[in-house]
Structure 1
Amino acid sequence: MAAGEMRVTDSVVIPAGELTERFSRSSGPGGQGVNTADSRVELSFDVAGSAALPPWLRQRAVQRLANRLVGGVLTVTASEHRNQLANRAAARDRLSALLREAIAPPAPPRRPTRPSRAAKERRISDKKRRAQTKRLRRGDPD
């Protein structure tokens, strides 16, 4: 893997040229350096226009990330660390996790099942036992 590339899965690798990083001043800890260091990282990836994703994966990612995309671009930020390098790594991890989840194959359809006869009988007997307990608490002679 070349420097700057981001591995999403074993078969999907985003080249460095398709990632855009912006740096700005971060809020939070940092003391005197907080006003001088641009440690906050915004990492953007154009999901809709990416050549790194095959068309069927791109379509799936765009559908699943629809509420997070702005003009087809997915942006994540990281500012939890005090240094830029750690925030860059955190942003890449966050972006790759989002993409991995978005391009994952859909879950197999659920096969409906019915409760077994024994399970139904257990349920009914539990209900009767509970009703008996409540009846005894009321003091009804039923």
Structure 2
Amino acid sequence: MDSTDLLPERALTWRFSRSSGPGGQGVNTTDSRVELVVDLTALPDHDRLVERLGPVLHVTASEHRSQLRNREAALARAVERIEHARRPDPPSRRARRPSRGAKLRRLEDKRRRSDRKALRRAPSE
């Protein structure tokens, strides 16, 4: 799925600022740090997203030297977090009673462990 299908432009707000990190002296003059703010309430199926992520999602990227690559990284990160929030919860484990065989194995292990420890004790008189 393309990010333009997932996130409409009206839900995105971009901010740019100067970034620390790679870039040499160009860092001092280039607004390469990107902050992406996504309004999750503007998305079609926003109920689950707002419940899990809140009404607004903030993503920043400043690892690349160019603003364009940081924009792509921020958008990819936002899409990844939204897709992760849309996934259904894994099914919860239902508690069940132990089988008869499991009970017998547990008791046999207890007996063996008890016998092993009894051999370590000093002999009774």
Equivalent residue runs for 1:1-142 within 5 Å: 6=3, 13-48=6-41, 50=42, 52-53=43-44, 57-66=45-54, 72-137=55-120, 139-141=121-123
Where in structure 2 are there 5+ consecutive unaligned residues?
Answer: none
Deviates more, 1:72-81 or 1:113-122: 113-122
| Structure 1 segments (4+ residues) deviating >4 Å | none
Name whichever structure is richer in helix by fraction: 2
TM-score normalised by L of structure 1? 0.72
In structure 2, relative to structure 1, the CA distance for the partners of 1:134 and 1:26 (3 Å cut) is: farther
Letter in 2 for 1:20: T
What is the rounded CA distance, in whole Å, between the counterparts of 2:26 and 2:115 in structure 1?
71
Residue identity (%)? 54
In structure 2, relative to structure 1, the CA distance for the partners of 1:22 and 1:116 (3 Å cut) is: same
RMSD: 2.4
Deviates more, 1:99-108 or 1:37-46: 99-108
Query: What corresponds to 1:69 in structure 2?
Result: none
TM-score normalised by L of structure 2? 0.80
Q: Is the 8 A contact 1:60 1:102 kept in 2?
A: yes
Q: Radius of gyration: which is bigger? A: 2
The alpha-carbon deviation at position 61 of structure 1 amounts to: 1.0
What is the rounded CA distance, in whole Å, between the counterparts of 1:80 and 1:45 in structure 2?
20
Q: Is the 8 A contact 2:11 2:40 kept in 1?
A: no
The alpha-carbon deviation at position 109 of structure 1 amounts to: 4.2
Q: How many residues align?
A: 124
Where in structure 1 are there 5+ consecutive unaligned residues?
Answer: 67-71
